[in-house]
Each structure stands twice: as C-alpha cells, then as structure tokens.
Structure 1
Amino acid sequence: MDCTQSGSSGMRVLTRNDLFTIMEHSNASTFNEKLEFMELELLHQYSEGDPNIAEAKHKLSIIRHQFKQKWSAARNTKARFLDMNKEWLKGTISLPKSSTYLRLNTGRPQKSFSELSERSKRRKTEELRTSDLHELAYATQMKLRKTGEVEASKIVKVLTRSPLKAKQYSAAIKEKTAEQQKEVSTKLAHLRSLFMFVEAGLTQAQYEVVRDTNPDFYPCYSILKKLKKECYPEIHSITETCAEVRVQSLMDHTIKRLLLHLGEEVLEQLTESEKQSFVLISKWGCDGSQQTQYKMKFENETDSDANIFQSSVVPLQLVYGKKKKIIWQNPTPSSPRYCRPIRIRYVKENTDVTNEEIEYVETQIKELSKTKIDEISIKHKIVFTMVDGKVCNAATHTKSTMRCYICGATSSDFNDLTKERPCNTENMRFGLSLLHARIRFFESILHVAYKLPVMKWRARLTAEEKKLVETRKKEIQTKFREELGLLVDIPKANFGNTNDGNTSRRFFEEYEKSAEITGIDQNLIYRLKVILDTMCCGIKIDTQKFEIYCKETAELYVSLYNFHPMSLTLHKVLRPGSAVIKEAILPIGQLSEEAAEARNKHIRAFRLNYSRKFSRVACNTDVINRLLLTSDPLLTGMRNAKHKRKRNPLSADTMNLLEENDIFNISIENDSEDDEN
C-alpha cells in the first residue's frame, strides 16, 4: 500500500488524506487501533537497523496525536471528521526515505495483497504455507484479536481444535440465511395481500371468500389485521361526533412508512450531514360536506350526522441538503391516495367552525418538532392550500362572496382592467383552488351563454327577458346532453349539482363543440383551457409569460362580454393569479385541493360499507382507520405505475407558458378520484 508523492531527495511526502486512507483499509473497530495499523504499515518499509527509523517514529507519533485530537473534536464520527478537516487533510508530512522504500518504488508499483490475483497470492504465500498448520491458525487467531475481530478469533480457535465443526458452522449459516430470506419474502407476500385487500376495497367477508380459492397463497385475515395496525398512528381521541389524530403523531408515522417504502439502499448512499437535513413538504386543508343520516342515537339529542367537517394533510416532497434535492416526490399530489386525515367532526361548515379548525390545526403545526428515526432527522413544512372559496373567505374575514380576498376588488371592478390593485401577500398562501377554478371557469362561460339573448347581467331583467334566459338555458342543457352526453347545471339529489370536475374537464377538452353549443367565442374558451392546463400540470410556470397570457385573455373577455362581469374566480386567476403562483413553494398544480374534495365521498362510502353500525364511536373508529389505511405511504407506494391513467399531452401553447428547464425534469400525474372511479 503506497500513497507516496514525489518529494525532495532523501524524503518522501504524503498527504494526511493518504494516511487516513491507509487507516480505512484496516478492519479495526477502534480509532486507536486504526492509527496503530497506519503506523505499522509505514514503518514496515524500514529495516530494524535503518538509521532513519527513529526520525520516522517521532514524526508519526506527532501525527497520531493530531489525528486523535481532530477525531475527538468530531465526536468520533467519520462524516463529521471529514467535513470539519477538509483543508487540514490536504496538508502534507515528510518522512525520511529508506533503502527498502527506494527499492519498492522502482519498476512496477506495488499492489496490496487484497488486490493481487489468485495466482500471485499463492506465489506470495508459498513460503508462509510451509509452516505448521496449528502455527498458522494461531497466528491468524492472534491477528484477528489484535484488529478487534474477537468473535472471528474465537471461531478460528474452535475450528483449529475441532475441524469437524466447520460443517456445523456452514450448515447453521446456510440455515440462518435461508430463514432470513424466507422471513423477508413472507413479510413481502403478506404486505402484497394487504395491498390487494385495500386496493380492491374488500371487506373481511369478501377477503375470506377470495382466500378460500387458495388458502396456501393468501394469509389468514388475522395476519392482515396485525399488518393493518402498523398502518395506524396513535389515535388521539374518538367520540360520537369526532375522530382525531394529533398532527405530530400523524407526521411521525407518515415519515416512518415513507422511509420503509424508500428502503435502506436509498438512505445508505447519503452522508451523515445529509441525513440530518431532510425536509418533508406537505399541504393541508379543511372542507365540509353533507352526509347520509343514520338511525343510531346520539347521547346529546342536539347532535346530528347530516354534515361532516374534515381536515387532512397530503405529503408532497421529501428533500435533503442545501440544494433541496428530491429523494421522494408524490406521484399523484391531487389524488386522495396519500391524503391522511387529521380530524373529522359531525358539524355543519360555517365561518366560526372553519376559523376554529384553522386555529386548532395551525397551532399543532407551529408546535411540530422534528421526526427522528435512527440516524435520520426530518423537519416538517406544511402549507395551507387545500381550500375552497368559503374557507378562504372565512380565514380572511371576507364577508362578501363577490369580493376578491387577495386584492379587495368587487364585482363592479372585475372588468375594469385599467385599475391595478395591491395584493395582500399574506392571503396568497391559500393558492388558487384549482379544482374549483376549473368548475367556476366552466360555470362562468355557461352563465354568459345564458344571457347572450338579452346582453344583460342579473339586474333589471324583465319577465320576458327572464323567460328568454330560461329558454336559452334549456336549449344549451339539451344540446350538451345530446351531443356530448353531459348533464349541465342540473341539481343532484340531496346536495350539489352536476357541474363537477369531470364535466368541466370534458367541456374544455371539447372546446370547439362547447363553443358551438354555447355561442361563446371559441378562442376565449381555448385560452381558458390553456390557462387551466398550465396551472394543473404540476410543472413550474414561467410567471412572466403566464401574466401576459392572462392579461390578453382578460382583455379578450372584456371586449366581447363586457355586459357580464367576470366571476370572482376568473378575476382571481386572470389578474393576481401570476403573483400567487410566484409566491407558491411548489408548482401550483401540486397544491390543489382535489385530494380533500375526493375524501368527502370516501367518508360517505366508508361509513356505509366499512364500519360497524351498533355504536357511533365504533363507526367513527372504523372510518378513520380506513382513511389511514387507504392513504398509507408504504401500501400506496406498492401500486404499479402501469395502472395509472395516461394524461393527454400538453398543447404547444401550454408548453410555452412553462419553464423550459423544468418541462423534461418533472413529470407529475395529477390524478383525481373522479378520474379513477
């Protein structure tokens, strides 16, 4: 092992890095033993009577003392030692040359024994192998003990006394290895069965039917039950009207399952400092919805299960290092697959309830501490973007639904493009509510189309004009149903109407036919489609180009339909939208509220099909457990990519509004539950 650099006559020069490399070739368990190994390796090149050996020993004792001090200052950690002493390790030391050293450095460079070929090893050890077997075994035993390999030394001692035990050792090792491999493969097979159980939406009874077809292949349900418990964090409290998980407990559990999904191989490649710099970026939000009422009684007669208000969180990115390198990216940030419940309550959504929930959850987020798992430390950053217009108005204390909570403009100002209003930077943190933006864009076009015969907005419509508007509305509804198979602006039983995310997507995809049916300018509908596709694609947006495109679209709208003020959402996107996108921590498409909206119908389905009905507490327990199970990062990560729905390619106009250096580096599939079902 020769790390020598060329030096002046009579001296050989080595860097401290060279010395540390020699130490690393030792199998010693302690740093002192590695220092001894390094010193012996360097002194090995001097003969006993060499006049320069004393000077070499003196210089090596000094360098050993320096290494000990530096190692102690780094708290006995290799990564920290290397990081703290980068420049010092580049320094050099000079050792006197010996005749032996000069001889070794003539001709071909010497290799270490481990680097030699089998033939060279046999030739080099030929003389050594003439010694007595017991003598060699004893020497091996002592050498192993000196380097800290005590257990290996004991095994050599036992095998020397009783060579027949080698078969027993070999058989035991093979058996242990086989058991470990079997245990790993069995655990994986059981996890696959649980994944199938969750992905297929099975109940216990349905799984038992499937298992009866092949009992040897599918594990019994009791094993799945144990694995399901590993998917649940500690539940804080469950009552008749509430089920809750503390944010700290939920995020700790999410990280733990996420690291299991990534595997040890990924983490082993990181340095000590990188393992301490992890940041998990997540989004959270809250939303209310109507629910089916059940017959079970409440202890408090004033309670009702007609409405539910739920808050949830979705992990988006796990990054590390100063450059924020991405080690994990949520492949479907708008899908409920990673949407984890924080709290569900049977209460009707209103301003007070919304503000209470925001304060309650954000207090927990502010008190969040780092998650520590073994050598890894993860910091949490959670943004409040899974919101709709009602939540934004409540959080910003905006009482009018026709006032923009970002710039303060009202409906009378929306079409006045000459006014530039200052934006409230604090209110930009809510994002742009992309699912609702798509639906509101669609509804804005419909409402303008209904009023085309009279060219008036809401006010001062005569009875005859109202009749014309109603007739026009029915014509448009009929044409959409006959030509595109869409139900437009039709109330649904119990709640809402047919204007959902999928209807609006189809409307903009078929923009030529939509323009023909509604009588709205085709170019305007196409430009709104481009804006929506740009925001929802999950790729970084060139905000300057986007702002210009939105401004041109707003001017087109005003020039064509100035009689009808823009809707609040249309104004919010076309005017301050580019500023909101610029402030976003991630591409705006990854901050959508679709995941939380899809969870509302999941809660209805889980209450109906996967919960016990004899007790409201038991029912709520089953619902929140199912929400946690279906959003578990380890199980969700097992989903095969080929099952994901292929998105339509982005148009050239959309691509032009994206940052060029990001188009080919990020590929996010914004699945929604509406797409999947």
Structure 2
Amino acid sequence: MEVVTRRYLFDKMMEQNSPSINEKLEYLQNYLLVSYGDSDEDKKYIKKKISYFKTEIKKRWSKARSTLEKFLISNDAWLAGTFVIPIKTYNKPGRPTKIFSECSDRTKRRKTEEVRSSVSKEVIVHAAQVILQKEGKRNASQVLKDITNSPASANECKKIHSKSKAQDPLTPREALRMCVDADLTRSQYEIVRATNRSHFPCYELVLKAKEECYPPKETIRVTASCAESDLQSLLDHTVTRLSIFLEEVLMSLTEIERNSLQIICKWGCDGSQQAQYKQKFMNDADSDANIFLSSFVPLQIVCGEDKRKIVWQNPTPSSPRYCRPIRFRFIKESVDITKDEINYVRDSVKSLKATEMELNGQKFSFSHSLKMTMVDGKVCNAATDTKSTSRCYICGATSKEFNDLSKKNEIHPESLEFGLSNLHARIRLFESILHLAYKLPVRKYRERKTVAEKMLEQQKKKEIQQRFREEVGILVDMPKCNFGNTNDGNTSRRFFENPYLAAEITGIDFNFIHRIKVILEAISSGHKIDVPKFDEYAMETAKLYVELYGWHPMTPTMHKILVHGGKVIENSLVPIGQLSEEAAEARNKHFRSYRLNFARKFSREECNLDIYHRLLLTSDPLISSMRKRKKVRSKPFLQETLQLLLPAEPNTKGTFDKCMESDGEDELSFIE
C-alpha cells in the first residue's frame, strides 16, 4: 500500500485541462489504475476506493460553487488528510487483510493490545507527537501535547470541535425537497427558517429552484375550467430533469447507446368528485363539482438495439411521486368526455418527436413510448365502445357466457394494451366474493326472489358486515358521506390478508379465496410472470369457481383476469405489476388537498395554475429522486406465487443498480 495526501490527488486531477469536474476525476482514476493497477483485482479494488473520494470531491466542489479559491479555503483541513492507495495481492488464501484505518474499533483494540500492555502511555503519546511533526502536522502535534498535559485544554478543544461540526447549510434544491416532503407553505417555511437562518436558504432562492420544476411558461395553458401543458414539452422537461440525476450513468454509455435511449411511460385518465367553491364561472353551464384528470408516469429508460439495457427504473411505479399531470378539466366523467380525452392524448402521442439534449458536451436522443394502462373499467369500456358493463371488452362475451370455459371468443388485440388495472381488479374481486356470499342462502342470481329470500339475503349481508367490523376491523359495502363506499384498496388488502378468516365469515370456499390472493399477489408483484404457468393456474381457478358456484356467473373483472390474464401479461412491455393505476387514483386525493391548501382563491385561473404547478412540483423526477422513501416492512411472497414468477434474469442493467434501489414503498390510494 502507499499513503498519499488528498491534496496530492487533488493536484494530480487538476493537471487535466478540462472544465468538467467529472473528466478531471476520470483522469485521476485512469492515472491510479495505470500506476498501481498491476492486476484485474488491483484495478477493481482501486476503483472501489477511489469512488468514495470522487463522491466527496463532487459534494465539496458543488458547495464551493465550482470555484477553486473557495474550495481550497474551505477544504484546507480535509485536503491535508491521507488517502491509502490499496495495492493488494490475492495469492494468499482466505479473507484479504484490511489496513488498520479500515478496521473496526474492536479490531483496532485487539491489534494494539500488545503495544498498550508493554509500552507506557507517555511513550505512546510522545511517539504520536513526533510522527505528526515529521508529517508536517505541527498544529495537531501541539494540540495533542496540550490536551495530554492539561484536562482543561481537552475540555476546551472538545467544545470548539463540537461547534465546528455544525451541519452544512441546505442548498435551495434540498430546501425545496424538504418543503415538498413536509407539505410546507411559504409561511410555515419562514417559521422554520427563523430558527436557523444560516442553515436554511431564503425563500426567494427556493422559488427559483421551484421554477426549474416547471416546463416553459408558454407551453402551459390555463383557463377557469382547465389547465394543461403540451405533452412534448412536458416529456422533454421530464427527460431533462431525470438526466441531471442520471448524469454519471448517462456519461458512461457508448455513442450507440446514447442515440438509442427510450423512455417508457404509462398514462391514463380518471374522473373524481370535488368540493364546489363560491366563485362564479363566466359560463353558467360550467361547474367545479367534478374534475377529469389525465397524467403519465415514467417507468424505465432503456437503450441498445434490443432495448434490454435498463438505464433507469422507477423505484415506486405505483406511487404518485412521479405522476406528471397532462391536463385537468372541471367536467363530469362520461363516455363522450372519456373518448375525447383519449383521442386528445393519443393525437399528442402520435406527434411526439425524440427529445434531443446535450450533457457535458455529449449529445443524447430519447424516443418516447406511452402505454395507456392507468385506467379503470369505465375508461376501458369507453375506449373500446363496449356499451354494457356486463360485457367483456376484450372478447365481447356477455355475463351469460362467462361460465362457459369451453367457448373461445375472438380477442380484440387492441384491447390488450390496457393492462389488468391491478388496484381496481383487487377491489372488484373482493366485491364479487362479497356479493356471492350474500346470495349463498338463496343461490339465485337474477331470478325472481320472494320476499323471504330477499330478507335472507339482507340478513346474510348484515351478518357479514358485522363480523368483518368486529373481527377484522374493516367496514365493507357501506356508503361514505358525499360519494363512494368503504370498498377501497386498503379494505380489499385486509380482506385477502387472511383467507382463512375471510372464508369463515363469508362462507366462500377457502381454496378459491386463497387462489385469488395468489393471482393478485403475482400480478401486483412488479416481477416478470411465467405466462404458461399463470394461464394454467388461472384456468384451474376458473374451473373451481364454475364447479362450486356455477349458478352465479363470473364478474367481468374475474373473467378478464382468469381467462385473458395470460394474454394481457404476455402483451405488456414491462412487468404487469408496474402498470398499476394506483398513482393516478392517488392524484385525485392530492388534487383536493392542493386546491384547498396550496392555491390562491381570488381567481379561478390563478387557482388552477397553482394546482397544476403543485402537481408538477410534487412529481418532479429530480426532486422525487432526492426525497426519502418510507421503509415499509414487506411480507414474503407465498410459495404458490413464487412458482408463477420467472427467475431473475442475469444483470442486464450494467452498473446502474444504484438508480433502481427500492425500499418497497407503494403509497396506498383510495378508489372513489
């Protein structure tokens, strides 16, 4: 090994006459590899060690505003520190020996035990003073002498050191990330800043950082009943912000890969009810009782001729963290409105051009692929002109034909792109089991029922509701104030969490509920699914249902998943679990919150602009990448679920794993 000062490494990298700090660091790394990397193992070890130095240099260089004089003044003490260039030999079997500075405290005590037991304290201290003087660290030598001779000096040095360890001030971007995480208004931020003005930047700087989260002003159009942005400019801005976060990764790509980048997104639209405000519309026919919002979520950035190399993976594809708004309108959802919105976005997608950008002198080209998967059953029916909610929009079969598993209707290929709507599928399957349980005492579907049979059905429903409330702690099939009922995503998750108890309360076969749980777990996992095994498992589940409850036809959602699920999964560009509509559903809840707490109320135009800006800010890719994700304790998959999943492929992601780390967070959203 060889010990050098950090200043030596810094001076060596400054020999590179390039304005880019990345190129200077690359020059330093190549110098060390050529000078000290005698073997592949040595080179690998040097790369690992120099990566920590590169990260620290970038951080300190950024804080110095890329100014050499400021950097040298503020980092003089740090540059005086040492850096060990590890030269390893790997002929010796067993674990490689660590250098002393890298050992744990316990190992250091063990290695110095013999010295401490045989040499007096005064000799050790004096030897340390002499070594520090020889290395040119005279101040450190003098401090060691003073604190050894005087306990009062030691206490004074400790107080001074504690004060010097004050946390570095936040950058405007970090302060903005804090505001987004904590949902702070301007007045709240000013209160927080008043506690330590040197640590928090002024709000004007935060506003400038906030402006960077929006596409160009001229591309945003706002009226009293609508707010929207050009899809092209919105995607260009999204790619630009992601590129800042992925700068190091993108610069490592080859020229062919730089020109073959593709960003894969999912998009969808959904309606929701809202509280009405007092301001008048210019047009009396307008109303703010409902909104219709379309949005998209970036999922992956891939490159290469076969698009198999993943440059970036959205760590939380079902979370609204990356859910970018395209347009919202104060209008009630209907078939015509849904068709109009679908055509509007599809026309915008057809006219999209590749995003061309330059980063550190290198040119990059991003093509765009948008898949309409953030949808529910109403949107799918409207998009495929399916008039009846009891008809399958994929094959056109009616409810009378759902239980006839031998009948194979022709599949419409264009309807496979909508995915499986995982969140709604979970809720609809939960509701179908409930409604089936209500009818168990009479075993009739649409046949005319007597008064006594209707009473039995209602009694069974009340009994099930009461038991779920007392034994599980959930409310099922109960109306909520204003709109909707209690059958939401969280309720359905609690239902399938314990199939034994669910089967006991409802009277539905445990094996059937368990199999539905396995299927939902597989399609929501975010992993690739073995389509033949899934098809076989789903068909066996369908046959079990027909055998047990043939008098009650499957619901359209159950038919779609059990009969057509394999085809839909096979047709998806990414794992089906990443195409969930949860992010868009959560945005409806956020819209109400942002309208109430983060928007000006004196003008409808200004109010809508503030809401749209807030939606853009909270979904900005760069800010979202900085935000801390809550760690959720994830439960292991069932053994049956693991058998339906494909084994993990060999790493095709290159060196980009750090951009794909996920802590398993899925923000739970509610269906309205």
User: Normalising TM by the smaller chain, what interval?
Assistant: 0.7 to 0.9
Deviates more, 1:456-465 or 1:245-254: 456-465
Distance 1:193 1:219 in 2: 7
1:330 alignment counterpart? 314
| Residue of structure 1 in register with 2:241 after alignment | 257
Counterpart CA distance in 2 for 1:191 and 1:580 is 41
Aligned to 2:299: 316
Give the equivalent residue in structure 2 for 1:519.
Answer: 507
Letter matched to residue 333 of structure 1:
P
Question: What letter matches 1:630 in structure 2?
Answer: T
Secondary structure of 1:660's counterpart equals: coil
Q: Is the 8 A contact 1:335 1:670 kept in 2?
A: no
Please state whether the residue corresponding to 2:171 is helix, strand or coil.
helix
1:189–1:176 distance in 2 versus 1, CA, 3 Å: closer
Specify the structure having the higher radius of gyration (Cα).
Answer: 1
Q: Does 1:175 align with 2:69?
A: yes
The equivalent of 2:632 in structure 1 is: 645
- What is the TM-score normalised by the length of structure 2? 0.73
Question: Residue in 2 aligned with 1:123?
Answer: none
Residues 474-511 of structure 1, C-alpha deviations (whole Å, 9 max, x = no match): 11000000011101000111111000001001100111
Supply the distance in 1 between the matched residues of 2:570 and 2:477 (Cα, whole angstroms): 34
The one-letter code of the counterpart of 1:625 is H
Q: Is residue 197 of structure 2 the alignment partner of residue 303 of structure 1?
A: no
Mark the runs of 5 or more structure 1 residues left unpaired by the alignment.
1-26, 30-111, 118-171
Q: Distance in 2 between matches of 1:173 and 1:475?
A: 73
Distance 1:422 1:173 in 2: 67
Alignment of 1:522-561 (within 5 A): 522-561=510-549
The correspondence of residues 173-252 of structure 1 with structure 2, limited to 5 A, is 174-175=68-69, 177-178=71-72, 189-234=171-216, 235-252=219-236
* Cα pair 1:595 1:672 within 8 Å, conserved: no
Matches within 5 A, 1:266-285: 266-285=249-268
1:419 aligns with 2:313: no
> Displacement, 1:562?
1.1
* Alpha-carbon separation, structure 1, partners of 2:650 and 2:487: 31
Structure 2 CA distance for aligned equivalents of residues 560 and 632 of structure 1 = 50
Going from structure 1 to structure 2, the CA distance change for 1:582 and 1:668 (only over 3 Å counts) comes to farther
Retained in 1: the 8 A contact 2:392–2:560?
Answer: yes
Identify the residue that residue 155 of structure 2 maps to in structure 1: none
Per-residue Cα deviation, 1:32-60 (whole angstroms, up to 9, x for no partner): xxxxxxxxxxxxxxxxxxxxxxxxxxxxx
| Structure 1 residues 72-121: Cα deviation after superposition (integer angstroms, max 9, x where no partner) | xxxxxxxxxxxxxxxxxxxxxxxxxxxxxxxxxxxxxxxx9x9899xxxx
Match of 1:286 among 248, 269, 291: 269
What SS is found at the alignment partner of 1:315? strand
The Cα of 1:179 is off from its aligned counterpart by 8.7
Distance 1:461 1:538 in 2: 44
Aligned-residue offset at 1:647: 2.1
1:420-472 C-alpha deviation (Å, 9 max, x unpaired)? 22211111111111110000010010001000110111331111111110111
2:399 aligned counterpart, secondary structure? coil
2:379 to 373, 382, 391: 391
The whole-number CA distance in structure 1 between the counterparts of 2:369 and 2:433 is 38
Give me the whole-angstrom Cα distance separating, in 2, the residues matched to 1:384 and 1:495: 26
2:443 paired residue among 442, 452, 455: 455
2:588 to 596, 600, 607: 600
AA matched with 1:392: C
Q: 1:547 to 1:292 in 2, by over 3 A?
A: same
Letter paired with 2:667: E
Determine the C-alpha separation between the residues in 1 that align with 2:556 and 2:662. Answer: 28
The answer on whether the counterparts of 1:333 and 1:670 sit within 8 Å (CA) in structure 2 is: no
Displacement after TM superposition at 1:181 (Å):
9.0
Pick closer, same or farther for the CA change 1:582–1:252 going to 2, 3 Å: same
CA shift for structure 1 position 267:
2.0
Q: Once the two structures are superposed, what CA deviation does each residue of 1:556-585 show, in whole Å capped at 9, x if it has no partner?
A: 111111111111100000001111110111
CA contact (8 A) 2:582 2:669 kept: no
RMSD, matched Cα: 2.6
Deviations 1:111-135 (A, max 9, x none): x9x9899xxxxxxxxxxxxxxxxxx
Pick closer, same or farther for the CA change 1:589–1:670 going to 2, 3 Å: farther
> Counterparts of 2:340 and 2:404 in 1: how far apart (Å)?
36
Distance 2:261 2:68 in 1: 38
> What does residue 379 of structure 1 align with?
367
Deviation at 1:670, TM superposition (A): 6.4
Match of 1:661 in 2: 648
The answer (yes or no) to whether the contact 1:448–1:564 under 8 Å persists in 2 is yes
> What is the aligned partner in structure 2 of residue 569 from structure 1?
557
Identity in percent: 56
Call closer, same or farther: CA 1:653–1:181 in 2, change over 3 Å.
farther
TM-score (normalizing by structure 1): 0.72
Aligned in 2, Cα 1:424/1:445: closer, same or farther, shift over 3 Å? same
Please list the CA deviations of residues 636-662 of structure 1 after superposition, one character each: whole Å capped at 9, or x if unmatched. Answer: 001235x23232111110010011234
Q: Residue 617 in 1 paired to residue 605 in 2?
A: yes
* Residues in 1 aligned to 2:67 and 2:606: alpha-carbon distance in whole angstroms: 48
Match of 2:427 in 1: 439
Which SS does the other structure have where 2:243 is aligned?
helix
- Find the counterpart in structure 2 of residue 157 from structure 1: none
Distance 1:350 1:483 in 2: 39
- Distance, in Å, in 1 between the alignment partners of 2:215 and 2:330 is 22
Distance 1:670 1:304, change over 3 A: farther
SS of the aligned residue for 1:646 comes to coil
Pair 667,634 (structure 1): closer, same or farther in 2 beyond 3 Å: closer
1:674 equivalent among 654, 668, 672: 668
Shift of 1:667: 7.8
Partners in 2 of 1:283 and 1:180 — Cα distance?
46
Contact 1:438 1:501 in 2 (8 A): yes
Residue 664 of structure 1, CA deviation: 9.4
Task: Please tell me the residue identity of whatever aligns with 2:202.
Answer: C
Cα distance per residue 1:322-354 (max 9 Å; x no partner): 242101000111111100000000000001111
CA contact (8 A) 2:169 2:200 kept: no
Q: Secondary structure at the match of 1:514?
A: helix
**2:185·2:598 contact (CA, 8 Å) conserved in 1?**
yes
CA 1:233–1:179: 2 relative to 1, 3 Å: farther
Count residues with an aligned counterpart: 510
Structure 1 residue 663 displacement after superposition? 10
Q: Indicate if the aligned counterparts of 1:539 and 1:663 stay in contact, CA closer than 8 A.
A: no
Checking the alignment, whether the CA contact within 8 Å between 1:336 and 1:672 is kept in structure 2 is: no
Secondary structure of 2:633 counterpart? coil
Task: Give the superposition deviation at 1:272.
Answer: 1.6
Aligned 8 A contact 1:293 1:306 in 2:
yes
| Cα distance between partner residues in 2 of 1:327 and 1:116 | 31
Q: Which amino acid aligns with 1:358?
A: I
Kindly state the Cα deviation for residue 209 of structure 1 after the two structures are TM-superposed.
1.2
Please report how far the alpha carbon of residue 673 of structure 1 lies from its aligned counterpart in structure 2 after TM superposition.
3.1
User: One-letter code of the match for 1:660?
Assistant: P
Cα distance change, pair 670–592 in 1 and its aligned pair in 2 (3 A) = farther
Shift of 1:549: 0.2
CA deviation string 1:213-249 (max 9, x = no partner)? 1111111111111110000113421000000011001
